Each structure stands twice: as C-alpha cells, then as structure tokens.
C-alpha cells in the first residue's frame, strides 16, 4: 500500500512528497526527529515525545512550527490515513531550504520542513524476539558530544548497527571512557541483585522517553534504580540486561561481547518491566 505522508501542511502520496536539494536536513543533517509508537491505532507516550521535540528544537535555536495540540492532530491524522494499528509515526523538522548551501543559519523566518510518515509493524507488542532477547557487541562511542539532542545525523549509529550485523548479533552498545553510554538507538541497562542500573542523563546520551516511563514504573513497583555508568565487564557479570526505546519497548539483552548475561535467557525483571510498560502505555494511549 502506498503511504500518505505529511509534508509542510499537505497530505501526499509518498511518491509525490519531495524536499529541496538545498534543504538543510539533506545538506547539513540540520534537523531533529521523533519516533512515536502506535498500539491499537493509538499513540504511545506521546506527551514525552512532544516535550523532547520542543527541547531538541530549542537547543538548536529553532522554533517549534506547531503547538502540542497541532502535533497531536497531525499524528492522529497520519495514523488514520494510513490505517496503522501497530507501528510507528516518524516526525522530522529541519531548518528548511535557504536556497543555497551556507554554514550560516538562514533567517529565522525561513519556513521549516515538516515531515510525518508511518511504518506499520504488526506484532510490535507481542514481539517474539522479546522472548529470545538480543545479543550485543561493544563499539567505541565516536558520536558528537550533544547526544541529548535528537538530530537526524545518524551515520555513526548506522555504522554501529552494521558492525553488529557483520558480527551476527542484534545491536551495538557504545562505550566511552570505559563505560557504556547507550545502544545504537536505545538506552542500556543491567540488573544486579534486583537493582536496575542505567547511565545517568547528561549530554552524552539521549534522554529516552521510554526510559523515563520505565524507570517511573520500576520505582512505583518498589524496584531499586541506580543511575550511574556501568562497564562491559559489569554487564557480562550482571544477572540481566535490557534496552529500552519507543519501538523496542523493553528488550532483554542476553549476550554482551560473546559472554552470556546471567542464564543467557531473558530475565524476570526485563520481562516484568516490558509487561508493565506495554500495559500502562496501552491504557494511557491517545
């Protein structure tokens, strides 16, 4: 089925949605994005994604082209027009098309480019992979230092995903100064003696929206949470490991750099958190 995408106020068949070659997103990766999951045709954790979009735009000195209510309406419309039941909405805002290539930002009144499209992913919630878990390798974190801004410059994460694929595993975990920062497109966690350990927020990781919700649910369920860096050796000696993201929710990690984590099968803490997250998010979905 050909999708209907949103481009700067228009609803177009995907083959007709065109962006200028001078767009700063294309030339400079000068844009930000959000990925919001859809379950039962409804948006998951939408407010969090809206808040982070606003922050990313602000950090780059860009205005927000829409109010939260307008973003919600656009998200709902793209879901409805494409009849998405399970999947995701991708949203991107760039600094627009100044008409030339220039390192200097264009005037603030230059219209931004706004794109929304969907990807259907039936089986997102009842994902059989979550019953098996992921295997990961570590790679040096060679990304820029403002990973808290959700920009579209994803080349290094993409290279790291390819390194994982070449190694026959599912993902890579980035390591900087001896500690894990995060996964290619997810936040990373270990569990030791019932304690959930994940790197504290800063400029060196994306402030995951799923992370915020999962840690809140964990604390509400009286689980202990410690926000601090951890090493690959600690992960290999942990009882469990997992990652979180808008599209993977909570995904167990069963192997790190060839070493089994715990029993080498998805652990109870990750399984419980996945269940709570999906249940609670379905209830709050808009």
- SS3 of 93-107: the string is EECCCCCCCCCCCCC
Does residue 182 bind ligand PDD (CB under 6 A)? yes
- The DSSP code for 151 is B
Does residue 187 bind ligand PDD (CB under 6 A)? yes
Q: How far is the CB of 141 from ligand PDD (least distance, A)?
A: 10
Does residue 211 bind ligand PDD (CB under 6 A)? yes
**What's the helix, strand, coil split of the chain in %, to 5?**
30, 30, 40
Q: How far is the CB of 213 from ligand PDD (least distance, A)?
A: 8
- CB closer to ligand PDD, 206 vs 256: 206
Please identify which of the residues 18, 121, 150, 283 carries the catalytic annotation: 150
Q: How far is the CB of 205 from ligand PDD (least distance, A)?
A: 6
The window from 5-13, 103-111, 207-215, 253-261 that contacts ligand PDD (CB under 6 A) reads 207-215
**Other CB atoms within 10 Å distance of the CB of residue 123:** 10
Does residue 112 bind ligand PDD (CB under 6 A)? no
H helix or E strand, kind and range, residue 213: helix 209-220
Of 112, 118, 186, 270, the residue at the interface with ligand PDD (CB under 6 A) is: 186
Beta strand extents in 29-86 (DSSP E only): 31-39, 42-43
Does residue 209 bind ligand PDD (CB under 6 A)? yes
The window from 106-114, 190-198, 215-223, 243-251 that contacts ligand PDD (CB under 6 A) reads 243-251
Does residue 208 bind ligand PDD (CB under 6 A)? yes
Of 97, 112, 245, 270, the residue at the interface with ligand PDD (CB under 6 A) is: 245
Q: How far is the CB of 208 from ligand PDD (least distance, A)?
A: 3
- CB closer to ligand PDD, 97 vs 134: 134
Of 5, 246, 253, 278, the residue at the interface with ligand PDD (CB under 6 A) is: 246
Taking the C-alpha atoms of residue 212 and residue 143, their distance in angstroms, rounded to an integer, is 23
Structure tokens at 23: 């767009």
- CB closer to ligand PDD, 35 vs 110: 35
The window from 5-13, 79-87, 202-210, 221-229 that contacts ligand PDD (CB under 6 A) reads 202-210
Taking the C-alpha atoms of residue 245 and residue 207, their distance in angstroms, rounded to an integer, is 10
Of 206, 238, 256, 271, the residue at the interface with ligand PDD (CB under 6 A) is: 206
Q: Write down how long the chain is.
A: 286
**Residue 192 annotated as catalytic:** no
H-type helices in 89-130, by residue range? none
Per the rule left: phi > 0, alpha: psi between -120 and 50, beta: everything else, 96 is left
Structure tokens at 215: 């840690």
Taking the C-alpha atoms of residue 57 and residue 69, their distance in angstroms, rounded to an integer, is 17
- CB closer to ligand PDD, 92 vs 186: 186
Torsion of CA 71, 74, 76, 78, to 10 degrees: -140
> In terms of Cα–Cα distance, which of 180, 166, 189 is closest to 248?
189
Q: Which residues are catalytic?
A: 150
């Amino acid at each position: 089925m050909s999708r209907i995408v949103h481009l700067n106020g228009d609803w177009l068949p995907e083959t007709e949605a065109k962006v200028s070659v001078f767009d700063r997103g294309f030339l400079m990766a000068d844009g930000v994005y959000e990925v919001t999951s859809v379950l039962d045709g409804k948006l998951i954790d939408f407010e969090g994604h809206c808040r982070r979009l606003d922050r990313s735009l602000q950090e780059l000195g860009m205005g927000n082209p829409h109010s939260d209510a307008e973003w919600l309406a656009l998200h709902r419309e793209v879901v409805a027009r494409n009849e998405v039941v399970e999947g995701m909405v991708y949203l991107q805002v760039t600094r627009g098309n100044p008409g030339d290539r220039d390192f200097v930002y264009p005037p603030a009144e230059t219209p931004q480019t706004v794109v929304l499209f969907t990807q259907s992913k039936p089986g997102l919630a009842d994902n059989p992979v979550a019953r098996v878990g992921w295997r990961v390798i570590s790679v040096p974190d060679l990304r820029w230092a403002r990973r808290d801004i959700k920009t579209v410059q994803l080349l290094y994460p993409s290279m790291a995903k390819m390194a994982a694929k070449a190694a026959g595993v599912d993902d890579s975990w980035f390591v900087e100064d001896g500690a894990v920062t995060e996964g290619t497109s997810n936040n990373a966690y270990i569990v030791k003696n019932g304690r959930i350990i994940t790197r504290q927020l800063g400029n060196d990781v994306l402030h995951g929206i799923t992370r915020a919700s999962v840690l809140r649910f964990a604390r509400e369920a009286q689980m202990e949470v410690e926000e601090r860096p951890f090493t690959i050796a600690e992960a290999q000696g942990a009882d469990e490991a997992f990652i979180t993201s808008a599209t993977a929710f909570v995904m167990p990690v069963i192997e790190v750099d060839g070493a089994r984590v715990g029993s080498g099968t998805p652990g109870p803490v990750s399984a419980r958190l996945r269940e709570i997250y999906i249940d609670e998010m379905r209830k709050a979905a808009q």
